Amino acid sequence: MTLIDDELDVLAALVPLSGRDIIELGCGAAKLARTLLERHPDSRVTGLEVDERQHAKNIAAPQEGLRFVAGGAEAIPFPAASFDLALMLKSLHHVPVPMMAQALGEVARVLRPGGHLYVSEPVYDGALNQIVRLYNDEGVVRAAAQGALDAALRTGAWAQVAERRFEMPVRFRDFADFEQRMMRPTFADHRIDDAKLASVRAVFDPHVGPEGACFTRPMHVRLLRRPG
């Protein structure tokens, strides 16, 4: 499977990015959005984020062409036909399962006719996933995310125009780095106690080498288009 360092390359190969009005749903730190604007300064990106702590960090780091708004994909606070492109980067599976269909309906509402939805989801597989599932098993929600996309396609509100599978490198300096980034995110409480920490570390440590712990994360991209 192809190894991709920068997912922006995948996105740029699928849809035009210059002069676009773009919304990222569940933007996190908006790393890809910031790089996109460096390459396409004539575009505009809105980052929607439900995590209050992350949203505050985003507001404190402004960038030309980038605005941040607090909110979730199931209730997008913008008028109909406001954007050309919507991005969901490892975020659809974080939408509550009963709200996934509503979220995809909201995305369709705020996209202009002919607009695209780029959904990038981690595949439930690989060595890193085997570690993460010890404290945060996302098998059900990741499957639900793909099921929600399939159901949305059956409504006729969308057409799928592209699909890509690839792997992305993920590196951690050491277990402390993994713990901070993966086990204690600001948007979730994984109820980590000493016993769970020790059990995860026992599985993680064999992957650590001179350059840290290096993994690949399999990814599945689906590009949907709003007809019209």
Pairing of strands 111-122, 208-209: unpaired
Domains of the chain in sequence order: 7-127+137-169+216-225 (3.40.50.150)
Please list the pLDDT of the chain residue by residue as tens digits (228 residues).
899 999 999 999 999 999 999 999 999 999 999 999 999 999 999 999 999 999 999 999 999 999 999 999 999 999 999 999 999 999 999 999 999 999 999 999 999 999 999 999 999 999 999 999 999 999 999 999 999 999 999 999 999 999 999 999 999 999 999 999 999 998 889 999 999 999 999 999 999 999 999 999 999 999 999 998
Whole-number CA gyration radius for the chain = 18
Per-residue pLDDT tens over the stretch 113-151? 999 999 999 999 999 999 999 999 999 999 999 999 999
Burial class for 159, CB neighbours closer than 10 Å (0-12, 13-18, 19+): exposed
What's the predicted TM-score (pTM) here? 0.96
Question: C-alpha distances in angstroms, 86 versus 76, 126, 127, 206?
Answer: 11, 28, 30, 39
Distance CA 215, CA 99 (A): 32
Instruction: Write the single-letter amino acid at 46.
Output: T
Per-residue pLDDT tens over the stretch 48-64? 999 999 999 999 999 99
Q: Which two tokens stand for residue 158?
A: 């969308």
Q: Coil, helix or strand for 167?
A: strand
